[in-house]
């Protein structure tokens, strides 16, 4: 039931083009955040890099916006756009592991659950998200905080290459060996510079981990938080654990009378010798009077999906973020004071440690500049009832305003909402000017602006003009030989464990 307007695109791609009125449209336009209700003109289910090249050229010619959707977890809904074209990578989730080289090549639609499943078969991993359904690409481009950050750095610190389609439809690879400035910008500059079609990561030995979750009454959160602050600072980097303030989830190791009530939680993993895990967790058990706890050795991927049941698509969501040089008593007092207003069991108010390996990377080595802070707090409010939106958004804003008094100017890009665009320069800090120059070099017209946007530097400030990159011969051949797909028809392809070279 597609329109004539998109017939040209259908002739140039192998992926399915879905428009309003097509049977799959309502499902195809949905993103993780149920508060986002946008109606794109079309959704392209990308089948290969050649589709992206054709789609970018098509959208530019038509004068419509492009949004890029990997895992679809963007809190502001940057994976969709009213009246524009969505490049949906959900069918491109392959992961190819080279165990000898300890690297993984990942397609742009893969989630961290996909990634960890593939790498764990070889006893390997790299820093990924806390929630398994989060997309690999978006998290990495914004930095990438996770359980392994203290030991192995951010996700972007483990990125060793990426294939990218630029705003003019050209295709190139960015790494330490080629297009080095673009590679620098991709590691923390988010989706400002092009459409990433695949990524390559460095892997590390990670197999069984000792998982711990400890609940306390939220009213004791200031004391528990202070104990956590001292404990995590002295623990080896093999300990990756966050401090959280929640409503008690319905888990068997938390007494039922605490389900839905404000609690403080310590959760994470010990990645050293699993037998040594209990001794490393003991100081936090002694930090107060636990309401309940859980400890067990388990495969790393099992921890990655442990909280997925609390983070389900379709909830209403609104997020705020900051950076803290230290987890001060003042910041802890704010967290405790705001705990009675936590919207639901789906809300996560976490303080993630980002010391250790994260801080051993120089602030100007990647686009992620905040390498001198110890914690990254997020107020990720989620709730099921849209009628509570106004109240819960106000709660997040009030909480953030109180916390920000004790925070740095910027905040973690992946935890910011649409109204945080005004903070982009503070968030990218000392690297913003260089990023703006590279934006002018690679996307001078700001074609890719459905993101936490970096404005191109004025022409006089920009670096040398970029020579147009040539499309690799094999991709050009795919474009030229693309079969004519009937309106509404898909490729029929299923995700493969082997990622293509694109």
- 485 pLDDT tier (thresholds 50, 70, 90): very low
Shared domain for 24 and 121, answered yes or no, is no
CA 224, 225, 228, 233 torsion: positive or negative? negative
- Check whether 316 has a pLDDT greater than 50: yes
Could you give the count of Cα atoms lying within 13 Å of 66 in the half-sphere of its Cβ? 29
- In this prediction, residues 160-187 reach a mean pLDDT of 99
Residue 3 has a pLDDT of 67
CA-wise closest residue to 171 among 487, 496, 477, 485: 477
**Can you read off the two tokens belonging to residue 87?**
């490049």
pLDDT digits (tens, 9 = 90+) for 41-55: 999 999 999 999 999
pLDDT of 495 reads 30
Q: What's the half-sphere exposure (Cβ side, CA atoms, 13 Å) at 340? A: 3
User: Is the confidence at residue 282, as pLDDT, over 70?
Assistant: yes
DSSP string, 194-222: -EEEEEEEE-EE--EEEEEEEEEEGGGHH
Q: Are 193 and 443 in contact (CB under 8 A)?
A: yes
Q: Which of 300, 306, 266, 258 is nearest to 283 (CA)?
A: 266
Burial environment of residue 291 by CB neighbours within 10 A (0 to 12, 13 to 18, 19 or more): buried
Looking at residue 491, its pLDDT comes to 31
**Pair (30, 60) in one structural domain:** yes
Domain assignment present for 486: no
On the question of pLDDT at 119 being above 60, the answer is yes
Query: Does residue 496 have a pLDDT over 70?
Result: no
Higher pLDDT, 390 or 479: 390
Residue 82 sits in which domain range?
Answer: 4-90
Q: Which of 353, 388, 420 represents a domain boundary (last residue)?
A: 420
Average pLDDT over residues 64-76: 97
Q: What secondary structure, in 3-state letters, does 295-337 show?
A: EEEEEHHHHHCCCHHHCCCCCEEEEEECCECCCCHHHHHHHHH
- Do 377 and 308 fall within a single domain? yes
Confidence of residue 459 (pLDDT cuts 50, 70, 90): confident
Distances (CA, A) of 442 to 25, 166, 301, 435: 32, 7, 36, 10
Q: pLDDT tens-digit profile of 200-238?
A: 999 999 999 999 999 999 999 999 999 999 999 999 999
Task: Among 107-111, 194-198, 270-274, 318-322, name the one with the lowest average pLDDT.
Answer: 270-274
Mean pLDDT, to the nearest integer, of 349-364? 98
Distance, in Å, from the CA atom of 95 to the CA atom of 108, rounded to the nearest integer, reads: 10
Q: What separation in angstroms does the CA of 378 have from each of 104, 156, 169, 481?
A: 29, 19, 36, 47
Q: Judge whether 199 and 159 are in contact, CB under 8 Å.
A: yes
Whole-number pLDDT of residue 2: 55
Q: What is the pLDDT of residue 461?
A: 52
Do 263 and 290 reside in the same domain of the chain? yes
Q: Do 85 and 99 lie in a common domain?
A: no
How much is the average pLDDT of 188-196?
A: 98
- Same domain? For 251 and 364 the reply is yes
Q: What is the DSSP string of 421-443?
A: GGGHHHHHGGGHHHHHHHHHHH-
134 and 242 fall within a common domain? no
Q: Does residue 184 lie in a domain region?
A: yes
Q: Is the pLDDT of residue 498 over 80?
A: no
- Does residue 467 belong to any structural domain of this protein? no
Give dist(CA 493, CA 491) in Å, integer.
Answer: 5
Q: Is 38 exposed, middle or buried (0-12, 13-18, 19+ CB in 10 A)?
A: middle
Same domain, 158 and 271: no
Rounded distance, CA 206 to CA 149, Å? Answer: 13
What CATH number is given to the structural domain containing 165? Answer: 3.30.465.10
For the residues 2-6, what does the mean pLDDT come to? 78
Bigger pLDDT: 478 vs 109: 109
Residue 178 falls within a domain, yes or no? yes
Q: Work out the pLDDT band at 389, boundaries 50, 70, 90.
A: very high
Residue that is last in its domain, among 45, 63, 90: 90
In the predicted structure, residue 349 carries a pLDDT above the cut 70: yes
Closest CA to 90 of 105, 116, 71: 71
What pLDDT is stored for residue 480 in this prediction? 55
Number of structural domains in the chain: 3
Q: Which of 90, 111, 126 is the last residue of a domain?
A: 90
Exposed, middle or buried by CB within 10 Å (0-12, 13-18, 19+), for 481? exposed
Does residue 143 lie within any of the structural domains?
Answer: yes
Statement: residue 483 has pLDDT above 50: no
Q: Kindly report the CATH number assigned to the domain that includes residue 31.
A: 3.30.43.10
Task: Count CB neighbours of 317 within 10 A.
Answer: 27
For residue 268, what are the β-bridge partners?
212, 241
Residue 345: give its domain's CATH number: 3.40.462.20
pTM (2 decimals)? 0.91
Is the pLDDT at 320 greater than 60? The verdict is: yes
The predicted model gives 330-349 an average pLDDT of 97
Over residues 242-251, the pLDDT tens digits come to: 999 999 999 9
Assess if residue 493 is contained within a domain.
no
* Residue 483 covered by a domain: no
* Residue 199 and residue 213 in one domain: no
Residues 140 and 230 in one domain: no
CA 197, 202, 206, 207 dihedral sign is positive
- From residue 116, alpha-carbon distances to 89, 101, 120, 142 in Å are 18, 17, 6, 19
| 267 and 362 together in one domain | yes
Confidence of residue 274 (pLDDT cuts 50, 70, 90): confident
Q: Are residues 107 and 231 in the same domain?
A: no
**Residue 125 within any structural domain of the chain:** yes
Mean pLDDT of 415-424: 96
pLDDT tier at 465 (50, 70, 90 boundaries)? very low
Report the mean per-residue pLDDT for the chain. 93
- As a whole-number percent, the residues of the chain with pLDDT over 90 amount to 90
- The stretch 398-404 carries a mean pLDDT of 98
Indicate whether 288 pLDDT > 50: yes
């Amino acid at each position: 039931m597609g329109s004539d307007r998109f017939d040209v695109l259908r002739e140039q791609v192998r992926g399915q083009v879905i428009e309003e009125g097509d049977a799959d449209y309502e499902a195809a336009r949905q993103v993780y955040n149920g508060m986002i209700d946008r109606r794109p003109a079309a959704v392209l289910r990308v089948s290969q890099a050649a589709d992206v090249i054709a789609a970018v050229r098509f959208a530019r010619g038509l004068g419509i916006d492009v949004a890029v959707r990997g895992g679809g977890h963007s809190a502001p809904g940057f994976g969709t756009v009213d009246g524009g074209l969505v490049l949906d990578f959900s069918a491109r989730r392959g992961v190819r592991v080279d165990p000898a080289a300890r690297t993984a090549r990942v397609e742009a639609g893969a989630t961290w659950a996909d990634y960890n499943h593939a790498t764990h078969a070889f006893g390997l991993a790299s820093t990924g998200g806390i929630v398994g359904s989060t997309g690999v690409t978006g998290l990495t481009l914004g930095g990438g905080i996770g359980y392994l950050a203290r030991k192995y750095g951010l996700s972007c610190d483990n990125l060793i290459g990426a294939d990218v389609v630029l705003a003019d439809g050209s295709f190139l690879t960015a790494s330490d060996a080629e297009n080095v400035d673009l590679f620098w910008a991709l590691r923390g500059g988010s989706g400002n510079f092009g459409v990433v079609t695949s990524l390559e990561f460095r892997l590390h030995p990670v197999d069984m981990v000792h998982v711990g979750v400890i609940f306390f009454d939220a009213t004791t959160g200031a004391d528990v938080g202070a104990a956590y602050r001292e404990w995590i600072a002295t623990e080896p980097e093999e300990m990756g654990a966050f401090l959280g303030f929640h409503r008690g989830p319905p888990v068997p190791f938390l007494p039922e009378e605490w389900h839905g009530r404000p609690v403080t939680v310590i959760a994470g993993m010990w990645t050293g010798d699993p037998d040594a895990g209990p001794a490393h967790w003991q100081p936090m058990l002694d930090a107060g009077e636990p309401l309940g706890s859980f400890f067990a050795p388990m495969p790393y991927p099992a921890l990655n999906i442990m909280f997925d049941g609390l983070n389900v698509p379709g909830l209403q969501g609104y997020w705020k973020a900051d950076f803290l040089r230290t987890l001060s008593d003042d910041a802890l007092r704010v967290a405790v004071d705001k705990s009675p207003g936590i919207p639901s069991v789906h809300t996560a108010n976490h303080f993630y440690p980002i010391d250790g390996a994260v801080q051993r990377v120089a602030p100007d080595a990647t686009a992620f500049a905040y390498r001198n802070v110890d914690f990254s707090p997020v107020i990720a409010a989620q709730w099921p009832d849209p009628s509570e939106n106004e109240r819960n958004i106000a709660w997040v804003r009030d909480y953030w305003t109180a916390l920000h008094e004790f925070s740095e100017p910027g905040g973690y890009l992946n935890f910011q909402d649409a109204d945080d665009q005004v903070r982009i320069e503070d968030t990218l800090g000392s690297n913003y000017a260089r990023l703006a120059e590279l934006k002018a070099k690679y996307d001078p017209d700001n074609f890719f602006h459905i993101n936490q946007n970096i404005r191109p530097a004025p022409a006089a400030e920009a670096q040398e003009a970029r020579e147009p990159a040539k499309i690799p011969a094999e991709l050009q051949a795919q474009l030229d030989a693309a079969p004519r797909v009937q309106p509404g028809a898909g490729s029929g392809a299923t995700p493969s464990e082997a990622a293509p070279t694109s």
